[in-house]
Structure 1
Amino acid sequence: MAQKKTQMENQPAMKVGIIGIGQVGLVLMTNIHKANNTQFILSAVCDTRPEIGQLVPQGVTFTREAAEVVKSCDVIMTCLPRAQDVKTVWERSIKDNLSKGQYWIDHTSSIHSQNEQLDREVTCLGAQFIEAPITGGLSALKRGEMCCLVAGKRTAVDRMRSLLDINYQQLHYLGQQVGSCTVVKLWSNLLNASQIVAMTEMLLVAKRQGLDLNKVFHAIRASSGNSFAWETGVPEVFKGRYDTSFTIQNHNKDIANGVQLADDLGVDIPMMKLTQQKFKDAQSAFGDLAGCYSYAKLAEDLHEEKLQVAGYEKWSWGIEVIGEEQTSAIRHENCVLPE
């Protein structure tokens, strides 16, 4: 193992390019540039918005043409809003410029069937495709605590491991079957959404019953009803923020793709379709850019109740990985403890 590591260290640093400098791409750009990794060096970034060029670190090439990134870099990372955006970039910029020995890491929450097709076509070109959607929230990504789901050839994933480790606390390898990560990511967001709906209903019941909402929050944290959504969603509602780091438009996009997959497979999911409608209602009420937990705000308005709790204005959270089994635990900061 040590010999393999030495061989990799002796190889020239691979040039990394990022296509799409949105919320995710911006963090990746910053982290990779600061990492001073001996195996990977940030070389070029692409975004269609010219103002993004002002954010690019000195020495890194900025271009509005994705093809330039593909031509000049060994590793291409795409961080795009939708599956259609990935398809467009593939057809217009990547397909005719990708060559043997290159790696393409796609972080987009996409569609599994599209990724399966891309993997086949990229393989035919002699390059490597790695499916790598991320989950855990933008604030976790900024701290390097996010989880990345990866699928693709094991040798390719191992070669890119130290690059991925720069940004992610946990990597979950789901195997060579590209498309599997997208299924897990979509349904992770569906589960999260359903728990936000249930969380909101429970808080409204507790409020009208006259209970102390902060004490309720901590009691559920210690109970069988606890979840990631409860631990992080309830304080967002207490703050009145509803998690603006991820828009309800993007959340609904993932929900729709997950529901469509279930329909294609003939699986009846009445609870998830009800959740989907609740989130659609929230998007209609507050707009595409509202926070992904805005259903709670909608329910507050419908019931003429406020679920905010004093003392959570500066609350934040992190993720701590515990033990060999890699259990994720939420670490609270500026949390109001019950008396």
Structure 2
Amino acid sequence: MKVGFVGLGNVGGKLAGSLLRNGIELHVHDLNAELVAAKVVKGAKAAADPGALMQACDLVITCLPSPAACAAVLAQMLPHVGPGKIWMEMSTTDADQIKAHADAVIAKGGEAVDCPVSGGCHRADTGNISIYAGCTRATFEKVLPILTHMGRRILHVGDVGVSSTLKVMTNYLATINLLSLCEALTVMKAAGMDLGVTYEAIAASSGNSFVHETESQLILSGSRDVNFTLDLVQKDVGLFQKLADDNGVPLELSPLMIKMLSDGQRRYGVSAQSDRMIERLEEATGLSITAAGFPTELTDDEPEARGYEVPLRR
């Protein structure tokens, strides 16, 4: 299967790298020519535009920063979609939009997969990230061999659109966890606790989480660079809020989060790293929420292995 990849940014570039590392014939496109050149050096073939990718490949993956970018790229690819062509969207996007795009692809005789990832850039880099796939079972079985080169745990969630809905939820949970950890670490510092001990106490407790084991380390090292920016966080939390509004669920935490994130963007920039939210509390208290011995960037210590489909509980 010839695979095309559009979007070689923080996540997409790492996913594409996993495909190359595992011997997949890969054609790539990105608006940043340097990102394309870096993949060509490793064996990829450059494509002039997304339409050329769809013409040349059996499967084209998109991993883009916004629903608008996804729509623009699909518009270029759609004239070249037909039987035997598969489009796989790996961005985090609006479920209604992805369903509309998928319908357009299917109407042309192609197949569509909605498959965002979860687990952080460091796991995307090693092929150990988790992937949700929304599509028919027949399509899932076609793309599963490709997915298992990019991710460790592959979950077939049902129809197109289900993956995006679930991913928006998980990003909402990750964000509220980040904000609560910022408060917890600051309160412990103010109370005179050693932050290295505090980190380990959380990690060994019922308060532990994936976000703590990753982002708390970057906060404490002072790096505050998790490769995920506030504009992307706002997009995801906003999509979750829209989902709640559309379904008549009165949320209390989500609107507060949006307000806090907006304040962080005013202070540090629209596209500041999301871990810089700790600095709001540092400024308010005069405390430094840092500790010795923590890494400035995350690495995945789980050995790379071929991925597998996660069985559902029925």
Q: Output the TM-score relative to the length of structure 1.
A: 0.85
Q: Which one has more relative contact order, counting CA pairs under 8 Å at least 6 apart?
A: 2
Per-residue CA deviations over 1:128-186 (Å, capped at 9, x if unaligned) read 100010111101111211111111011111111111111111111111x2111111111
The runs of at least 4 consecutive aligned structure 1 residues that moved more than 4 Å come to none
Indicate conservation of the 8 Å contact 2:114/2:161, yes or no: yes
Which residue matches 1:123? 106
In structure 2, what is the Cα distance between the partners aligned to 1:239 and 1:218?
14
1:268 aligns with 2:242: no
Q: Tell me the CA shift for residue 114 of structure 1.
A: 0.8
Q: Can you list the C-alpha shifts for 1:270-329, whole angstroms capped at 9, x where unaligned?
A: 1121112111211221113321222112211122111100111467453759xx997xxx
Residue pairs, 1:93-112, within 5 angstroms: 93-112=76-95
Q: CA deviation at 1:100?
A: 0.7
Q: Separation in 2 of the partners of 1:150 and 1:97?
A: 23
Gaps of 5+ in 2: none
Task: Write the distance in 2 (CA, Å) between the matches of 1:25 and 1:119.
Answer: 20
- What is the match of residue 289 of structure 2? 307
Find the aligned partners of 1:298 and 1:55 in 2 and give their Cα distance.
37
For 1:186-225, list aligned pairs within 5 A.
186-225=168-207
Letter in 2 for 1:237: I
Larger Rg belongs to:
1
> Is the CA contact (8 Å cut-off) linking 2:218 and 2:225 kept in structure 1?
yes
Q: In the alignment, is residue 284 of structure 1 matched against residue 284 of structure 2?
A: no
Instruction: Report whether the alignment pairs 1:160 with 2:165.
Output: no
Secondary structure of 1:242's aligned partner: coil
For the structure 1 residues 60 and 224, does the alpha-carbon distance in structure 2 shift closer, same or farther, using more than 3 Å as the test?
closer
Instruction: Tell me the distance in 1 between the aligned counterparts of 2:58 and 2:21.
Output: 19
Q: 1:47 aligns with which of 30, 38, 43?
A: 30
1:239-259: per-residue Cα shift (whole Å, max 9, x none)?
112233111211111111111
Which residues in structure 2 correspond to 1:29-68 (within 5 Å)? Answer: 29-36=16-23, 40-42=24-26, 44-58=27-41, 60-68=44-52
Judged with a 3 Å threshold, the aligned counterparts in structure 2 of structure 1 residues 105 and 128 are, in CA distance, closer, same or farther, namely same
Contact 1:144 1:167 in 2 (8 A): yes
CA-to-partner distance for each residue in 1:63-117, whole Å, 9 max, x for gaps?
34111101111110001111111111222x1221111111111101110001111
Give the conservation status (yes or no) of the 8 Å contact 2:153–2:309: no
Q: 1:325 to 1:109 in 2, by over 3 A?
A: closer
Residue matched to 1:18:
5
User: How does the TM-score come out when normalised to structure 2?
Assistant: 0.91
One-letter amino acid matched to 1:82: S
With over 3 angstroms needed to count, the CA separation of the structure-2 counterparts of 1:319 and 1:135, relative to structure 1, is farther
Whether 2:162 is the aligned partner of 1:180: answer yes
Q: What per-residue deviation string (whole Å, max 9, x for no partner) do you get for residues 183-223 of structure 1? A: 11111111111111111111111111111122122112222
Judge conservation of contact 2:219–2:289 (CA < 8 Å) in 1.
yes
Contact 2:196 2:292 in 1 (8 A): no
Deviates most, 47-56 or 282-291: 47-56
Partners of 2:51 and 2:78 within 8 A in 1: no
Query: In the alignment, is residue 230 of structure 1 matched against residue 217 of structure 2?
Result: no
% of aligned pairs identical? Answer: 26
Larger deviation: 257-266 or 311-320? Answer: 311-320
CA shift, 1:237, in A, is: 0.9
Which residue number corresponds to residue 71 of structure 2?
A: 87
CA RMSD in angstroms comes to 2.0
Determine the structure 2 residue equivalent to 1:136: 119
Equivalent-residue separation in structure 1 for 2:210 and 2:6 (angstroms): 30
Q: Hey, what does 2:221 align to over in structure 1?
A: 239
Distance, in Å, in 1 between the alignment partners of 2:30 and 2:269 is 25
Separation of aligned partners in 1, 2:20 and 2:236: 30
Secondary structure in structure 2 of the residue aligned to 1:294 = helix
AA paired with 1:203?
A: L
Q: Which AA in structure 1 matches 2:9?
A: G
Change (3 A) 1:319 1:274: farther
Instruction: Name the CA shift for 1:315/1:84 in 2 (closer, same or farther; >3 Å).
Output: closer
Change beyond 3 A, Cα 1:238–1:45: same
Read off the aligned partner of 1:125 and give its amino acid letter: K
